[in-house]
Amino acid sequence: MKNSLPIFGGLFFLAFFSITLLAGTFVSIDNDNQFGSGVLNNLEVIDTGNSAYLRLLNKFTPLTLGVLPSGRREMAFATDKDTGKVLLFGGWNGSSALDDVWIFSGAWQQRFPGFKPAARFGAAAVGIGQEKVLLFGGYDGNQFFSDTYIYNFVDNSFTQLNLSTYPAARAWAGMAFDSLNNRAVLFSGQGNSGYLNDVWVFDVSASSWSRQNNNCPFARVGMMTDFSIADGKVYVFGGYDTDFRNDLYTYNLATDNWNLLAPGGALPDARRDGVLIYDENLGRVLLLGGWGGGSFFYDTNAWYYNPSLNKWSRGAPSNNISARRWLAAGFLRPLGKIFVFGGFDGLNYLNDNYYYFCASSGTFTSSYLDAPFTTSVSWKWFGINPSGQSANTELKFQISASTDNVFWDEFRGYDGSPSSYYVYGGAPLVIYPDYTFNRRYLKFRAYFNTNDLPVSPLLDSATFYFNRSPDAPGLLVPVGISTGVAYPQFYWYNTTDIDGDPGLTYDLNVATSSDFVGTIYTVTGIGEKPGGITNSGVLTPLVHRQYYWRVRSRDEDPGPYSSAANFFVDLLAPNPVTSWSASLGSINNCIKLSWTSPGDDGEQGTIYSGRYYIRYSSSAPILSEEVWQGCFPSVSGIFTASPGETKTVEVTGLLTATTYYFNIKIADEVNNVSSISAVSPYAMTNASPTVNLLYPDSPVLWAGYQEIDFSGYDPNPVDSFTYTIRASTNSGGDFSLCLAQYLPSDSTFYILNTKKIPNSASVRLQVEAKDIRGLKKSVETNFDLTVFNPNEPPQVFLGFPRGKETIIGATTFWWSVFDENANDQHQFVLAISSDAGNSFGWQFNLTTTFYYLDSRLFPNGINYLVRITAIDDGSPPLSASSQTINTFSIVNENKSPGVFHLLYPPDKSARNIFGLKLVWEKSVDPNPEDVLTYTVFLSTTALLTNPRQFSTLDSTYYFSFNDLNPELTYYWQVRAKDPFGSFVFSPEIFSFFTLPAEKASSADGKVFAVVDRQLLSPEEFLVVQSALSPEGKSRRAIAFKQFYRLPEPEYNIFVARGIAGSPTEKSVDVLITYYYPAEKNYYPDTLVPENTFNLVYFNPEKNFWQAAPEVVARDMVRKSIQVKLKTPRTFSLSGVLPVKELLSEVHNFPNPFDPRKEDTRIRYILNNYASVRWRIYDIVGNLVREGKIEPGEEGGIGYPSGYTNEIKWDGKNGDGRIVADGVYIMEIIADSGSEKKRLVHKIGVWKN
């Protein structure tokens, strides 16, 4: 039934929304998921997906019940409307009449009253108030009944009334209860003489029948009837006489009057054996089921008769039941629902159960509709489908809005009032804007009403339209800048519209203040331009000052303005430069110019990103605009300067030693250009220095230290320069040997060590002078000098190795050499020894001062030495050596020990200070010959600062008594190290808390125990450790029934002695705190409550588990119990029921037993200390043996949690003789003083 968005239909919609459809966003609720996510009140979703729609609830709800009555038909069925209880009696199952009794009160339960009517079907039954049912007549397949019964729900009893006056025997009669007159009306039906038409009234108060004067206007069976409390009438529909009927009668008991109604509209088909129920919720009469003859025609519609409209209406319920006749139904007032049971579908006798409910009004509150926005949002209108509703039905709406989806406004109607509604009439409904504008979230509530049940208004879909204004545009230019034009253009980025609306326009504001109060220019309706940028200009010229501008976009709604941008209209040029100068530049062919900035706009304000223009001439000053225009080239650049600030620029590329004249113009950031300066400064470019070589001035023989004399000057007085002295050994062919450099300009001589020059007879000298800008001049001797120095041995220094290193893989040996004869060349011999210098088995001839050593080519060892010898090329050649003093190691392919982990004690556990040991995994070393040393690092800080160290070759370390202090947290880590120093740390750092000797805890942290320290010797301490169940001590096998076995660990607790912690049998009292799991006060995944938790321990003397005497403390917040036990013990947690009786659970084993081979153990439980007397009798009552036990002795011990006592019988009588085979009776009497209890038990004796 769903339509797509032409929900408004036709030309009206197209005309009304011809513009609106081009913009905005539609959002619809139109499928089962959306309907289901809202709040449905008396409504239901029909169909799925986009075919789904909402209607008023008209529904069968199947019930899943336990035990059910068997399938049947024609049963007596009646409801007590006040309590909602239902009676089902008898019926026909296809082969026989039934007489079973069933009560429904939320579930079916079969009842077995002491007396009940005979089996039958077709009996009339009706609830008559006060939790009672009136039952009359029926048929058992052979005879019709005329008996009357009252069934009482309260005591489950049938009472047969012995009456002198009563209706004739019959079945399939109509019967209804007039609750206003406290009378039941019985009419028609079939008896021994055929169809009947008499009317009888049962007075509930008098428990009597009386016949009415007027007969009913028909004689038939299978009528459908019920009483309407609204108008005090009995309604009767259809039935069968000689044909199937669909007429509708009312009967007024007060006037004894029958009335045939003539309803309008469609009528139910003629039928029999359906049900007619007065629905008190709706004030209507409901017709369900029935048979209309033919090929088993059944009606599956629900038909409602409306007395005020005198009209039948029908509708198919959801979850509809199968077509059937002889179904049973009744209105249950506490639930406000109709209960339906069973029937016959032509093939099967049914026993299914349903609740039926039909609503006349309901509401649907939608889930929220979301219109996310960043600008503004306007909810415009909405429409629904279908556009029209059935007559006598109503569908109206209200709307609520929210900004945060948390706090919601009231639901309101078309005028914004909570008391008004939107009523859809085919045209879109305009949403009241005041309470929805800029509200992101919206809900609607639909109100469904009908006066023509089960006809319902329908909601197929609801479509809402909203518009979100466009985003604020981003401004492009001018933003924070100046412009030099009076008619600027404004550019901004085209904005986006979240709704995708086309055809956006823009509004431009220009103002003299940032609050736009002084707006001087506004333009609207600026069309958006392609390319992503839109612009607009102004028609009125702007003056020299600061302005502000902003832009907004609009679709059908205006968007927000952009943030404001400022700009400055600059129409004034800077003043000309009045103060400036020229000087020698920092490099050759360069002049430095400095000027004082005049400021912007004349002499006001800073020039930002301005530009300077400089022109120069080498012929004359530049003092006029005409001369300026004729001067080329020019130099320009960008600068920023405030008034009075000095700016500097260098003009490069000029001629050497030349005078230049300059002038300047400056422009502000918008290129307002000043006039030229009245001053034309000048300066000369750089000239090179001069140099003279004064000595040596003739050929001489040089050796040792000699003096060189020279002089020089620079024609630029502000310049400085330096000297460089070089030598040539080929009569001036080249001067590649530098003897000295960077000598200051005031130097006049240099003392030369001639050993820097190779011995030669062709030596010449050069002296060079160079200024700071790189201009230089040099002078050389024009004759040869002879240099001769005797050869001296070199000195060699070994850099690496120096000794004590461990070399792994590749490394570099290096050394340095010094030679007085600076130009000597050297060769080297590297010698390596692996036996501490006794022999050098490896030698390498080298010309470099380093050697790349691959240690993998050498055997492992720790006694390596190295020696380096340097040999010069002098005449004669001389040499020197250097050797490591200490040996070094070479380790080839040694690998670090393998990763290992800490094991015990577990991290963050608590351990007794005595007998404490640390355990870790053994590290596996890839070099199997390595012997590993383990070092324990122990500290009281988590970072292991200043740790104590304990070394061992084993993977276990035992602490002595004095190593640790009690009640401290220790942190520990272990290192494994091989002989070559390779090591690995355990990846984890564990911690443990040290307990004193008198305290102990389990590894899993569940158990904490403490004992009186004075009970322990200096070398004794308390231990709690995990324990497997002792052999033959399974709690599952021999636990008594007051124990609930829980899946908890078992623990041993004992006093240990010595460093190794050897267990002792010492018995001391221990207070144990046990921490247990619990969920909602029960042990997880069980029904064992935590208030029954107790410790149970294994009693080795008796070979069974025993509950602790009492729980000292129980903390249900921290989930713990405290219990006292003696050491040594094996214990665990169980649920232990309090023992309610003084004496219980008497049993013995073995039973029977052979006294020649064994004793039998008699066990029983006491919940208090008591004196116990026991006697054993033979089967005829003769006393065989007796005994008495005083309170507190074994056999007379008791605790509230129960203590299992044990006594033994050796099978002998009081005279010490073994008794004969047979059964013996043991009597046990326990007396606590406040309570006395006696139990007997049979014991078998069998000597096999």
Contact at 8 Å (CB) between 1097 and 1033?
no
Domain 690-787 class in CATH: mainly beta
Structure tokens at 585: 């530049």
* pLDDT of 312 over the 90 cut: yes
* pLDDT of 557 over the 70 cut: yes
Contact at 8 Å (CB) between 1115 and 1127?
no
Rounded Cα–Cα distance for residues 458 and 52 (Å): 10
CATH (residue range 10-57+361-468): 2.60.120
Dump pLDDT digits (tens) for 1079-1136: 988 899 888 888 888 898 888 877 878 888 888 888 888 899 999 999 899 999 988 8
Contact at 8 Å (CB) between 1085 and 1046?
no
3-state secondary structure 66-91: CCCCCCCECCEEEEECCCCEEEEEEE
Share of the chain above pLDDT 70, in %: 96
Strands (E), 685-809: 690-695, 701-702, 705-713, 721-728, 737-744, 749-753, 760-771, 776-780, 785-787, 795-800, 806-807
* pLDDT of 1069 over the 50 cut: yes
Arithmetic mean of pLDDT over the chain: 90
- Amino acid sitting at position 521: Y
Q: Which of 85, 128, 103, 57 is CA-nearest to residue 331?
A: 85
* pLDDT of 709 over the 80 cut: yes
Three-class DSSP category at 388: coil
Rounded Cα–Cα distance for residues 933 and 937 (Å): 13
Tell me the pairing of strands 806-807 and 888-890.
parallel
Tell me the pairing of strands 377-385 and 284-288.
unpaired
Please say whether the structural domain 70-358 has been given the CATH code 2.120.10.80: yes
- Taking the alpha carbons at both ends of the chain, their separation in whole angstroms is 90
Residue 17's pLDDT is 37
Dump pLDDT digits (tens) for 50-71: 999 999 999 999 999 999 999 9
Q: Which of 152, 177, 167 is CA-nearest to residue 85?
A: 152
Rounded Cα–Cα distance for residues 906 and 1001 (Å): 12
DSSP 413: -
Rounded Cα–Cα distance for residues 561 and 887 (Å): 83
pLDDT band at 3 (very low <50, low <70, confident <90, very high): very low
Q: Which of 782-791, 799-808, 1038-1047, 1171-1180 has the lowest mean pLDDT?
A: 1038-1047
* pLDDT of 988 over the 80 cut: yes
Note if the bond before 263 is cis, omega within 30 degrees.
Answer: no
CB atoms within 10 A of CB 678: 10
More confident residue, 868 or 1029: 868
Residues whose CB is less than 8 angstroms from the CB of residue 618 and which lie 6 or more positions away in sequence, other chains included: 655, 658, 659, 660, 661
**Phi then psi for 997, rounded to 5 degrees?**
-55, -30
Q: Which of 28, 19, 26 is CA-nearest to residue 462?
A: 28
- Amino acid sitting at position 137: G
The vertex-201 CA angle with 200 and 202, nearest 5°, equals: 125
Residue 996's pLDDT is 87
Residue 603's pLDDT is 67
Q: Which of 18-32, 263-277, 548-562 has the lowest mean pLDDT?
A: 18-32
Dump pLDDT digits (tens) for 852-910: 988 878 877 788 999 999 999 888 899 999 999 899 988 877 778 999 999 988 898 88
pLDDT band at 111 (very low <50, low <70, confident <90, very high): very high
Three-class DSSP category at 1168: coil
CA 869 → CA 501, 799, 961, distances in Å?
90, 13, 61
Rounded Cα–Cα distance for residues 458 and 387 (Å): 10
CATH (residue range 474-513+535-569): 2.60.40
Residue 966's pLDDT is 84
**Phi then psi for 581, rounded to 5 degrees?**
-150, 165
Q: Which residues of 631-656 are buried (b: 16+ CB within 10 A; e: fewer)?
A: beeebeeebebebeeebebebeebee
* pLDDT of 204 over the 90 cut: yes
* pLDDT of 228 over the 50 cut: yes
Domain ranges of the chain: 10-57+361-468, 70-358, 474-513+535-569, 580-684, 690-787, 803-890, 902-996, 1138-1248
Strands (E), 1032-1128: 1043-1045, 1050-1057, 1062-1063, 1069-1075, 1093-1099, 1104-1107, 1111-1115, 1120-1126
Dump pLDDT digits (tens) for 455-478: 999 999 999 999 999 999 999 999
Q: What is the pTM of this model?
A: 0.52
Share of the chain above pLDDT 90, in %: 67
- Same CATH topology for 580-684 and 1138-1248: the answer is yes
Contact at 8 Å (CB) between 285 and 319?
no
Largest CA distance in the chain: 176
Rounded Cα–Cα distance for residues 1246 and 1248 (Å): 6
Tokens 């070759």 map to which residue? 953
Domain 1138-1248 class in CATH: mainly beta
Structure tokens at 767: 């002296």
Dump pLDDT digits (tens) for 780-807: 999 999 999 898 899 999 999 998 888 8
Q: Which of 7, 57, 58 is CA-nearest to residue 28?
A: 7
Dump pLDDT digits (tens) for 726-774: 999 999 999 999 999 999 999 999 999 988 898 889 999 999 999 888 8
Tell me the pairing of strands 533-537 and 580-584.
unpaired
Q: Which residues of 938-972 are buried (b: 16+ CB within 10 A; e: fewer)?
A: bbeeeeeeebeebeeeebebbbeeeebeeeeebbb
* pLDDT of 7 over the 90 cut: no
DSSP 268: P
Tokens 């006029």 map to which residue? 624
Please say whether the structural domain 902-996 has been given the CATH code 3.60.20.10: no
Dump pLDDT digits (tens) for 930-946: 678 999 999 999 999 99
Note if the bond before 801 is cis, omega within 30 degrees.
Answer: yes
Q: What number is the average pLDDT over the span 158-181?
A: 96
pLDDT band at 324 (very low <50, low <70, confident <90, very high): very high
Residue 1028's pLDDT is 62
CA 48 → CA 295, 316, 422, distances in Å?
34, 17, 27
Residue 1035's pLDDT is 42
* pLDDT of 518 over the 80 cut: no
Dump pLDDT digits (tens) for 348-359: 999 999 999 999
* pLDDT of 452 over the 80 cut: yes
Dump pLDDT digits (tens) for 1209-1234: 999 998 999 999 999 999 999 999 88
Residue 865's pLDDT is 94
**Phi then psi for 834, rounded to 5 degrees?**
-110, 5
Dump pLDDT digits (tens) for 962-985: 788 888 999 999 999 987 788 999
- Amino acid sitting at position 898: G
Tell me the pairing of strands 909-912 and 990-995.
parallel
Residue 12's pLDDT is 33
Rounded Cα–Cα distance for residues 551 and 476 (Å): 11
Please say whether the structural domain 580-684 has been given the CATH code 3.40.830.10: no
Q: Which of 910, 913, 891 is CA-nearest to residue 1001?
A: 910
Tokens 């006594």 map to which residue? 1207
